[in-house]
Amino acid sequence: MENLEAQRAALEASELSSLELVSAALARAEAEGRSLGAVVGLRAEAALAEAAESDARRRAGEIRSPLDGTPVLLKDNMVMQGEPTTCASRILEPFVSPYDGAAAERLQAAGAIILGRANMDEFAMGATTENSIFGPARNPWDPERTCGGSSGGSAAAVAAGVTGFALGSDTGGSIRQPASFCGVVGMKPSYGRVSRWGLVAFASSLDQIGPFTHTAREAAWVLEAISGHDPRDSTSLPEKSPDLVSALTGDVSGLRIGLPKEYFVDDGADSGVVEAVRQGVAELESAGAKVVEVSLPHTPYVVSTYYLVATAEASSNLARYDGARFGRRAEGVGDLDSMYRRSRSEGFGDEVKRRILLGTYVLSAGYFDAYYRKAQQVRTLVRSDFERAFEACDVIAGPTYPEVAFSLGARLDDPVSLYLGDIYTVSANLAGLPGISLPCGQLQGLPVGMQLLGRSLDEATLLRVADAFQRRTDHHEQSPPRAR
């Protein structure tokens, strides 16, 4: 009973109570969740009490949403009142949130039961969930391999069946890439779709919250619950929460799938990954979709553009961790300056420091025009690449990541190789577009992810295509050996 749709059906048929579901999920979170390093904090007592309330509501005939009574994990960068939020960082280790973020609030309004917190890369900077004070999260398909990152704990927990769904955040691929490594569905909504009130900021012009599930249908349920305008987030769009479930017709006939030629070059993704994605696209074609070639000519520049914009914004956002206002303060310091310096040197890990240094550099007076302003200009070009491509197609398809999950530790000394791996995911963030990764095959027993990108605010078409694909295939039904 480990996927959301089955949980919902069992609750509706009164075969299981929420209390039973949540107790079982807590047990799995303590066992597999902890041993995989995917779960880093649980609120067992509160979750059980909320499950009992959900059961009472259901008995009274009040069901809030398809999520009512089902367990969920939040990435450890979304705040909940009275709970710690660490961002997997020493600097926030002692932090307990005085308020509920929008994600927690909306999930609870939908009746979902928040079990606790999932592991991540420190401040969401990384692609392996190894930059964490809790230690790495592991891939349920092979615990010696990475589950991806930065929302790796959320992806691993859903793949291992700890919960039927989880939330992550995606600044440059942090939902879609771990989803592809763990064989689950991961979706980044359009920029502004989901409120970021209470999401600890990494790069504010790129960050978005989104779901991990097994199916596009389940992703539609979660997205309907968490999206919609929020006046507390100034970047939140005025649109109401979209009707996504009714878009899942299974019909893709006549729909145009664009394959960017820059995503299918010889020295690009691993050939096995490309093969699986091509087969996925062929499946859509046999369902009546039309495949067209499109071009995203600025693709060679997206990684550098992303790492300039993201680090610049991060250096500014992370300036607030000064030891004075919240989080950890260095002890035994004599003056204010050394308090700031020591708190920050002790509190941040190496990758976060690297990004703060890079971001501060690109924003500094002498280099601003050469790096930051230039990056903003290229960002505009990337956006217009997509506008042009979407004149010829309705959805863009390609690999989510150039390879399948690699060994833990393999890239620890080579951050640049990790940065380069983000080539297919960062564009959606730069352009503000929705993107989804869904399992489309396996390579050496490890899941391969296919990414679909859509027009801004067109989550409906994206989910329609993903759902149609899943109706015809069973890749999303494969589960890792540990969960079998």
The 3 state secondary structure assigned to 345-413 is: HHHCCHHHHHHHHHHHHHHCCCCCHHHHHHHHHHHHHHHHHHHHHHHHCCEEEEECCCCCCCECCCCCC
Based on the residue annotation, tell me whether 261 is a catalytic residue of this protein. Answer: no
Binding track, positions 272-291, relative to ligand GLN; x by CB under 6 A: --------------------
Residue 170 binds to ligand GLN (criterion: CB under 6 A): yes
Exactly one of 21, 80, 125, 269 binds ligand GLN (CB under 6 A); that residue is 125
Q: Which residue, 150 or 215, is less far from ligand GLN as judged by CB?
A: 150
Which of these segments, 125-133, 193-201, 320-328, 398-406, binds ligand GLN (CB under 6 A)?
125-133
**Which one of 150, 236, 427, 479 is the catalytic residue?**
150
Exactly one of 172, 186, 210, 439 binds ligand GLN (CB under 6 A); that residue is 172
E strand map for 140-255: 142-146, 165-170, 185-188, 208-213
Q: Which residue, 70 or 151, is less far from ligand GLN as judged by CB?
A: 151
Q: Which residue, 170 or 394, is less far from ligand GLN as judged by CB?
A: 170
Which of these segments, 77-85, 90-98, 122-130, 152-160, binds ligand GLN (CB under 6 A)?
122-130
End-to-end CA distance of the chain: 12
How many Å apart are CA 400 and CA 379, to the nearest integer? 20
Report the residue number whose CB is nearest to ligand GLN.
Answer: 174
Least distance in angstroms from the C-beta of 203 to ligand GLN: 8
Residue 173 binds to ligand GLN (criterion: CB under 6 A): yes
Residue 124 binds to ligand GLN (criterion: CB under 6 A): yes
Residue 160 binds to ligand GLN (criterion: CB under 6 A): no
Residue 309 binds to ligand GLN (criterion: CB under 6 A): no
Handedness of CA 141, 143, 144, 149 (dihedral sign): positive
Q: Give Cα 436 distance to the centre of its chain.
A: 10
Residue 126 binds to ligand GLN (criterion: CB under 6 A): yes
**Tokens 């919960």 -> residue:** 163
Comparing C-alpha atoms, which of 452, 476, 4 is closest to residue 225? 4
Residue 433 binds to ligand GLN (criterion: CB under 6 A): no
Which of these segments, 123-131, 156-164, 220-228, 325-333, binds ligand GLN (CB under 6 A)?
123-131
* Phi, psi torsion values for 477, nearest 5 degrees: -95, -10
> Residue 150: is the preceding peptide bond cis (ω within 30°)?
yes
**Which one of 65, 174, 190, 195 is the catalytic residue?**
174
* Phi, psi torsion values for 112, nearest 5 degrees: -70, 155
**Contact indicator for 440, 452 with CB cutoff of 8 Å:** no
Exactly one of 134, 181, 197, 202 binds ligand GLN (CB under 6 A); that residue is 202
Q: Which residue, 138 or 278, is less far from ligand GLN as judged by CB?
A: 138
Based on the residue annotation, tell me whether 174 is a catalytic residue of this protein. Answer: yes
How many Å apart are CA 263 and CA 424, to the nearest integer? 8
Task: Give the DSSP H/E element, type plus range, for residue 465.
Answer: helix 459-472
Residues that bind ligand GLN (CB under 6 A): 124-127, 150, 170-174, 202, 310, 422
Residues serving a catalytic function are: 75, 150, 174
